[in-house]
Structure 1
Amino acid sequence: MKCGLIEKTESQFVDSIEKEAYVWCEKNWKHDDHEHRHTRAQLTFVEEGYQYFHIDRKIYLVPQYHVIWIPSGKAHKITSEAQTVNLMVFLFKSVFEDEFYQNVQVFAVPPVLKEMLLYASKWNQSLNENEEQDIFFRAILKSLPNFCRESSGLEIPVPTDTRLIPVCNDINYNFKYNLDIVSLAEKAQMSVRSLQRIFKNETGITLQKYLQLTRILKSIELIDTQQYTLSEVAYKVGYQSLSAFTASYFAIMQTKPKMNKNQGVSS
C-alpha cells in the first residue's frame, strides 16, 4: 500500500477507499523507478527536500514549500537526489470543474496555504469519516486556483525531435560553461539559426533559458547537500558572482536562494 492505495501492478494503483479525500504524510520518502498513475487527483506538498516529477515528456521541479497538482489518471514518475524528502500527499476523489484542476500545476505555497496544509497533517493516514476534515479539505481544494502562481518557470521541457537530445545532454553536462552555439548546432547537424528556431518551437524556451533552468536546478541540488556556501554554489553552476546567481535564481524561483536552517556553512 502507498498513499492509501493498493499497488495492483507496477504502474497501477487501485483505490478501494470510500473517503472523499484524505492526506498521507511520510518522512524520508522512498522513490519509485517506474511510471504510475492514480485514479484520484493529487496535491503533493514538499515539506523538506525537493522532488522531480516526470510527466508528459516534461520534468517538473518541486522544491521545498512548493506543491504540484496532478489530475486524476495522469501518469507520472518521481525522482530526487535530496538527502531527505518529506512529503504530504492529498488525494481527492472528485474536484471542481475549473480548468485549473485539469492540468499539472506547480507553484510556491503562500503562508496561508502552508499553515492549512500543516494543520491538515493531524489527519495523517486517517480513513475514518470526519466532518471537519471533509470541510477543511474541500476549502483547500477550492482555494488552489487562487493560490496558484506562474508555474512554467519550474518546468523543464524534453524535446521530441531526436536531433535535439544531444544538445540537451551537452547543456546538462556542461552547464557550468557558456553556450557554444556553433558546437551545439554541429551536434544537432543543423545550422545555428535552425537550431535556435527548432529548439524554441520544440520546447517553448530558448537555449539560453534552458541553460538558466538547468543551472538553477543544479544549484538547488547543491544547496540541499549542505556542503557549500551560496558563493561556492554560484561558481559551481557557472555564475561569476553571487549577485548574478541570486538574480538568476530569483527570476526562476521568485525567492532568493538561502541555506537550510540546519546547515553548518554560511554564505
Structure 2
Amino acid sequence: MSLIASLPNIDKIADSVFVMHERSEKFIPYHSHAKGQLSYVEGGLAYLQLNDKNYVIPARHYFWVPSGLEHILKIGHSGTILRSIFFYTYDDNKNLFFSEVGIYPINALLLQMIKYTELWDGPIKSDDSRYQFLSVIKNILPEISNKKLPISLPFTDHERMQPILEFIANNITANHTLASLSTHFGIGERSLSRLFQITLKTSFLQYLKLLRMVRSIELMLQSDISISEIGYAVGYDSLSSFSNTFYQMTNYRPSDFKREIAARE
C-alpha cells in the first residue's frame, strides 16, 4: 500500500509502530500524523517541505519529522525507495531530538536495522515480538544522529518574490547581485533587500548560497561530472571558492561528501 493510501491507518493504534517500505509516489501533499516519522532515502533525492523551508535529502540519508508537523514530501527520482517507520510518542519528551526536524547520513548500524524490517508492513503492536526491536531503533536515534545536514532552502508564495526566485534559479551561473537584480526587476536595492528579509527571513546572499548548495548536491547525485565542474555549474568561478562555501554550509568538503555517498551505495 502507498504512503498516501496508508495515511489514515498510521495513527489508528496510538502506541503501535507503523512500518512501510515503498517505491514512493512523486508527490505526497501536505499531511501530518500523530506519530514521529523516521524515513530513510534509498537512491535518488527527496525533498521535505514544511513551515517556510525546503529540505533536500540526499540518498543514503535519513530524516526525522516530529509528530503533528504538517509537511510535503517530493521524490526527485523514480528509483527512490522511502523506508519509513512511524513511532509512538509517549516517550518523546525524554530527548530533544524527537521535537526537531533533522537530516542525517545513515550509518551501518541503523542501515542494517532498517533493512531488517524490510518485509514488515503496517502496525506493529506492543504485544508483537518485533515491537521491542523497533523500540531499540527509536531509542538509539538521539545517540547516533549527531551530524545533522544543515541544508534547508527558504521559500515563499509572495507574488512579488516568485519571479525573482525563478529568475535566480534559472540563471544560477550568473553573477547575481542586489544591484543587478534590482535593475532587472525595477526594484530599489534597499527595497529588494528588505523583501528577502521579510519573505524568506534571510539575506539575498545567504539565499543564493543555499540555492547553489542544494543544486550542487543534486548534481552530485544525478550526474558523473567532477567537483570542479559542479562548482562552475552552480555559479562559482573557482574550485576553492565552491569548496570553502560548501564546507561552511554543510561541514563537509564537496569531494568528501560525494565520496561518502558513493561509499554507501
TM-superposition CA deviations, 1:157-208 (whole Å, max 9, x none): 1135433333222221221112231242356664312322342343232211
1:162 counterpart SS class: coil
Q: Which residue of 1 aligns with 2:37?
A: 42
1:167 counterpart SS class: helix
Between 1:211-220 and 1:68-77, the stretch displaced more is 68-77
Q: Does residue 70 in structure 1 map to residue 65 in structure 2?
A: yes
More helix by share: 2
Q: Does residue 193 in structure 1 map to residue 187 in structure 2?
A: no
1:35 counterpart SS class: strand
Hey, what's the Cα distance between the residues in 1 that align with 2:2 and 2:77?
20
From 128, 137, 140, the equivalent of 1:140 is 137
Hey, what's the Cα distance between the residues in 2 that align with 1:16 and 1:145?
23
Hey, what's the Cα distance between the residues in 2 that align with 1:200 and 1:152?
23
What amino acid is aligned across from residue 57 of structure 1 in structure 2?
D
From 84, 103, 122, the equivalent of 1:107 is 103
2:27 counterpart SS class: coil
What residue ranges of structure 1 are gaps of 5+ in the alignment?
Answer: 263-267
Task: Check 1:156–1:49 CA distance in 2 against 1; reply closer, same or farther (3 A cut).
Answer: same
| Residues 44, 222 of structure 2: 8 Å contact kept | no
| Residues 60, 154 of structure 1: 8 Å contact kept | yes
Q: Does residue 123 in structure 1 map to residue 120 in structure 2?
A: no
Q: Which has the higher contact order (CA 8 A, sep 6+)?
A: 2
Q: CA RMSD in A?
A: 3.1
Hey, what's the Cα distance between the residues in 2 that align with 1:150 and 1:261?
18
Task: Check 1:158–1:226 CA distance in 2 against 1; reply closer, same or farther (3 A cut).
Answer: closer
Task: Check 1:189–1:84 CA distance in 2 against 1; reply closer, same or farther (3 A cut).
Answer: same
TM-score (norm 1): 0.78
How do 1:164-183 residues align onto structure 2 when only pairs under 5 Å count? 164-183=161-180
Between 1:176-185 and 1:13-22, the stretch displaced more is 13-22
TM-superposition CA deviations, 1:78-127 (whole Å, max 9, x none): 22333631322111132512454334x1232363xx41242232122245
Q: Does residue 23 in structure 1 map to residue 22 in structure 2?
A: no
